[in-house]
A = this chain, B = another copy of it.
Amino acid sequence: MKKRIAVLPGDGIGKEVVKGAIEVLQAVGERFGHQFQFSYGKIGGSAIDTAGTPLPDETLELCKDSDAVMLGAVGGPKWDQQPPHLRPEKGLLKIRKELNLYANLRPTQYYSSLSDTSPLKNEVIEGVDMLMVRELTGGLYFGKPSERTQQNGKDAVVDTLFYQKEEMRRVIKLAFELAGSRRGKVTSVDKANVLESSRMWREVADEIAKQYPEVALEHMLVDNAAMQMIKNPKQFDVVVTENMFGDILSDEASVLTGSLGMLPSASISENGPYLYEPIHGSAPDIQGKNAANPIAMILSAAMMLRLSFGMEEEAEAVENAVNQVLEAGYRTRDIVSFGKKVVTTSEMIEEVKATL
């Protein structure tokens, strides 16, 4: 097969980890006889510096013209003092909206080889295998008004949590679809004892559950979910929630297994292209030091093979290669523990390629 991939390295360690995914994909191409064509675009701080905007039109055009998008990471202290519309993150929010990426999927998985690096006790996380499904284009992130205002002559401010019912439906439906091919459980997280939007969310979840009798639905309040995630993460299979709750809970989930530098994500739209990015940020402190962990980006590429290209065997080959390299004791600095071999970013990439 021939596939066109838009590559947006972004800022910080973005460039370094994207390189890893590309090299691994090239190796996959050779082994399985596919042709991957990579075209580069700018986003985030590097786009602000060169084009004066965090998401140039050419980048957007490039993405729309591609079969899938790979994104490194955006942001850095250099742009922290910019006005809101000239921040790197705006590029990320805009590309989500423009490509209609309504759902962000983040698997969190236990790696026995990494349990030393987790802050949690091994018996708590052993066997954790959870998929967070976060609504990505609605809620507080995009609701209007979002502005300074006055109340009785006093300074005030307002943000707006807005959802169309249909936006809830499509992401919750997706969660049920995904649960069907996993352990068959959906935990829908909301704050129905306070928010009207959460009460609608709960109704929609109940409605959709009727269409999936083989999937069990459980409702959980967001504050309780923040507790349960730590106390007993094994109880979760698929977790689905709105944008802001998802932002918080998926980051919480990502540190449980001690493998933040290894966790991939996929953002899904109705008609493609999908976008793949690691969960970690741009880590400006280690930029250029050949110290970043490329695995999250490499596993994001594996998700792309599976979800965008239907290449299940190829995806598994990449995932297996990563596993074997970890089992063999190779570690970048972020996941190192006693007795393991510390390697650089490029050495880790080489190991994965060689194992493939």
CB within 8 Å of B: which A140-196 residues: 140-141, 143, 146-148, 151, 154-166, 191, 193-196
How far is the CB of A275 from the nearest CB of chain B, in Å?
Answer: 18
Q: In the assembled complex, which residues on chain B have CB atoms less than 8 Å from the CB atom of A222?
A: 247-248
Q: A156-B164, A159-B196 are in contact. List 15 more A-B contacts (CB 8 A).
A: A84-B199, A89-B194, A119-B120, A121-B121, A146-B195, A148-B200, A154-B165, A155-B165, A155-B200, A156-B162, A159-B195, A161-B161, A222-B247, A230-B230, A230-B256
Q: In the assembled complex, which residues on chain B have CB atoms less than 8 Å from the CB atom of A256?
A: 230
Map CB proximity to B onto A315-346 as digits: 1 under 8 Å, 0 otherwise: 00000000000000000000000000000000
Q: How many copies does the complex hold?
A: 2
Does the CB pair A226–B200 fall under 8 Å?
Answer: no
Residue of B nearest to A149 (CB): B162
| Given A119-B124, A244-B191, A260-B227: A157 touches B251 (CB 8 Å cut-off) | no
CB within 8 Å of B: which A109-139 residues: 118-121, 124
Assess whether A34 is interfacial by the CB under 8 Å rule.
no
Map CB proximity to B onto A251-268 as digits: 1 under 8 Å, 0 otherwise: 110111000100000000
How far is the CB of A73 from the nearest CB of chain B, in Å?
Answer: 14
| Given A157-B200, A161-B161, A194-B89: A226 touches B227 (CB 8 Å cut-off) | no
Assess whether A42 is interfacial by the CB under 8 Å rule.
no
A140 partner, pick from B120, B146, B161, beta carbons under 8 A:
B161
Assess whether A231 is interfacial by the CB under 8 Å rule.
yes
Does the CB pair B158–A164 fall under 8 Å?
Answer: no
How far is the CB of A137 from the nearest CB of chain B, in Å?
Answer: 13
A194 partner, pick from B141, B156, B191, beta carbons under 8 A:
B141
Map CB proximity to B onto A197-233 as digits: 1 under 8 Å, 0 otherwise: 1011000000000000000000000111011011110
C-alpha gap A159/B256 in the complex (Å): 31
Q: Please tell me the size bucket of the interface on A.
A: 35 or more
Assess whether A106 is interfacial by the CB under 8 Å rule.
no
Residue of B nearest to A151 (CB): B164
Residue of B nearest to A243 (CB): B194
Residue of B nearest to A122 (CB): B121
How far is the CB of A96 from the nearest CB of chain B, in Å?
Answer: 12
Assess whether A307 is interfacial by the CB under 8 Å rule.
no
Residue of B nearest to A75 (CB): B193
How far is the CB of A252 from the nearest CB of chain B, in Å?
Answer: 4
Assess whether A93 is interfacial by the CB under 8 Å rule.
yes
Assess whether A19 is interfacial by the CB under 8 Å rule.
no
Does the CB pair B255–A230 fall under 8 Å?
Answer: yes
Q: In the assembled complex, which residues on chain B have CB atoms less than 8 Å from the CB atom of A160?
A: 158-161
C-alpha gap A162/B145 in the complex (Å): 11
Does the CB pair A195–B226 fall under 8 Å?
Answer: no
Residue of B nearest to A150 (CB): B164
Q: In the assembled complex, which residues on chain B have CB atoms less than 8 Å from the CB atom of A147?
A: 196
Q: In the assembled complex, which residues on chain B have CB atoms less than 8 Å from the CB atom of A200?
A: 148, 155, 157
Assess whether A249 is interfacial by the CB under 8 Å rule.
yes
Assess whether A353 is interfacial by the CB under 8 Å rule.
no
Does the CB pair B255–A194 fall under 8 Å?
Answer: no
Residue with the highest number of chain B CB atoms closer than 10 Å, among A87, A200, A223 = A223
A251 partner, pick from B159, B196, B226, B251, beta carbons under 8 A:
B226
| Given A154-B164, A226-B226: A196 touches B248 (CB 8 Å cut-off) | no
